[in-house]
A and B are shown apart, each in its own frame.
Chain A
Amino acid sequence: MIRLGSLPFLLCAAAILHASPAAAQSSASRPFRFEAGIGVSWMGREPIGTRTATETTGAGGTSPLFNTSSELGSAAGFDGRLGVRLSRSLVAEAEAAYLKPQLRIAVSADAEGAAAVTASETIQQFTIGGNIRWMLPGRRWSPRLAPFALGGGGYLRQLHDQATLLETGRFYQLGAGVETLLAPGGRFHTRGVGARADVRAVIRSKGITFDGGSKASPAVGVSAFVRF
């Protein structure tokens, strides 16, 4: 279930789908073969489950001892991409990203009156995966901005700060964004240098979760790229 992540994506997608037919050719869509990018990204918080510590009663029921509510906090990190142009409007991308979110467990309602606390620990999250980026045809909001939609997924590895393996999993993402060429190419066989911004809904399967379900969170990224 997508909650936080779906709104910006849907707004962006709706705007794109209602765009009028094409007018000018964006400088961002000039022919290229390869693209390399590096940037920063931010991922929103993910609730990862609630659990009550219970003890068994004589009648066979349970008696709560305390409650826990857990989340992976929002975090900023770095990512890098390599892309290859498949056609005029499709680009295949390989991407890797690194984040250091905080795992937080809020403990409350202790049966013996212990003060509520939020215990935390920083973890590292590595992802590696691929996307298909579709350069959307049609009129741009600006002649310099080229909108795109993307979808993909990959492998995720979450490690404790001391590099102790915690969990592995998969992620899937859908998103949209815009890119623009900031400078023409020419030097070092480049075909331009540009910037890109995107917003994504990321759905994580497995990895750190205390209730077993898939988790969704929003993510945004800003990056610079160079084309060859």
Chain B
Amino acid sequence: MTRRLACLVAAALTLGQPAPALAYLKFGVPVGGQQVTLKWARTPVRYFVSTASVPGVTSTDFQGAVARAFATWQAVPTASITYQFAGVTAASPGSDDGSSVLGFQNRPDLDRVLASTSFLVDSATGALIESDIFFNAAFPWSVAAAGDSGRYDLESIALHEIGHFSGLSHSALGETELLSTGGRRVLSAEAVMFPIAFAPGSISARTLKADDIAGISDLYPAGDFTSDGSLSGRVTKDGQPIFGAHVVAFNPATGAMVGGFSLNAQGQFSIGGLSPGPHVVRVEPLDDVDIGSFFDASQNVDIDFGVAFLDRIVVVPKGGDSGEVAVAVVRK
């Protein structure tokens, strides 16, 4: 028995509940009353590319852009996941044929969705069988090396979607502003997995950030990832634990920021993949994005508190955990 699940860039559907083991939002599927982290059991993960093209992007261009995006994820030295191009196909993304397909589809009805990743999962075991990515041909696309004003950069969007394809959910490391149309415009982001894309013409999201690298390494650890440390604790407000607080660990030596969330009823969080050493901890409400891009609507995400810093430095040990850090936030 299989079940198809989907995740969209702009209007994300969250899959089950985030896996609570570490605080990167990873996709999880409920199996036998428990959440199982969605990830590929075997690598290299084979993918096909559809023959569909759009104005400005030929099938060959498309194949090249997604290959670069896959290569970017595969180049993370602390992650073991690998991908393999399996060929071109006339099949469309979304067909439950056991093959992972990336390609264009024209979906003008999804007027805020640039691209979407879907999964075919064995609901009895939680095993990931297939993942497809469709890119919405209703939008203008580009594969120009320096970007193309007025067109979305295919490689950047593919990099984000391949993060989903690999099992990562969204990161909240970014700032936005509300538009009069009701949407949001990204001012800045420090994670490819931020749920809202930069404006057309931007190629800023072709490069993975520390948060992305920590997330993929946590899912598929390799190399010296185990020598990285973690920072864990709990977030409270008025003495009560809160769910969904965005916790960011900042390394003042490297400038790296890695984020996570308080993910259970005890307000606990844990952020792995941190370079050993002192860190500054910042906690903020999830108010720069649609909460639905991160959590199921049934989950009570608390955003009624102000941004705060922990008043102590947290020293992350090599290959170990900081020990529980208590962060108290104050109602707005």
Contacts and interface: CB of A to CB of B under 8 A. Distances in A.
Contacts of A167: 277
A68 B188 contact: no
A177 B230 CA distance: 46
A20 interface: no
B313 A120 contact: yes
Contacts of A59: 202, 204
B30 interface: no
A57 B187 contact: yes
B148 interface: no
Contacts of B189: 55-56
B276 to A, nearest CB: 8
B280 A105 contact: yes
Contacts of B190: 54-56, 65
Contact of A114 (B187, B250, B306, B314): B306
A31 B85 CA distance: 82
Nearest to A104: B313
B188 A119 contact: no
A65 B277 CA distance: 21
Interface string A207-226: 01110000000000000000
A55 B280 contact: no
A111 interface: yes
A142 B308 CA distance: 58
Contacts of B173: 55
Interface stretch (B3-11, B52-60, B236-244, B251-259): B251-259
Contact of B313 (A49, A103, A112, A113): A103
A225 B187 CA distance: 64
B312 interface: yes
Interface in B294-327: 306-315, 317-318, 320, 323
Given A51-B255, A59-B202, A164 B320 contact: yes
A111 to B, nearest CB: 7
Nearest to B284: A112
Nearest to B315: A160
Interface residues of B, number: 41
A209 to B, nearest CB: 8
Interface in A87-108: 103-105, 107
Contacts of B311: 117-120
Contacts of B198: 58
B282 interface: yes
Given A55-B190, A103-B278, A114 B309 contact: yes
Contacts of A115: 308-309
B202 A58 contact: yes
Contacts of B318: 164-165
B281 to A, nearest CB: 8
A42 interface: no
Contacts of A56: 188-190, 204, 209
A172 B184 CA distance: 55
Interface in A56-86: 56-60, 62-63, 65-66, 68, 70
Given A103-B278, A114-B309, A119-B280, A53 B255 contact: yes
B186 interface: yes
B175 interface: yes
Nearest to A108: B309
Instruction: Identify which of B173, B250, B323 gathers the most chain A CB atoms within 10 Å of its CB.
Output: B250
24 contacts: A51-B255, A54-B188, A55-B173, A63-B187, A68-B280, A103-B313, A105-B313, A107-B280, A110-B282, A110-B307, A110-B309, A112-B175, A114-B282, A114-B309, A117-B309, A117-B310, A119-B310, A119-B313, A120-B312, A121-B314, A162-B323, A164-B317, A166-B277, A208-B278
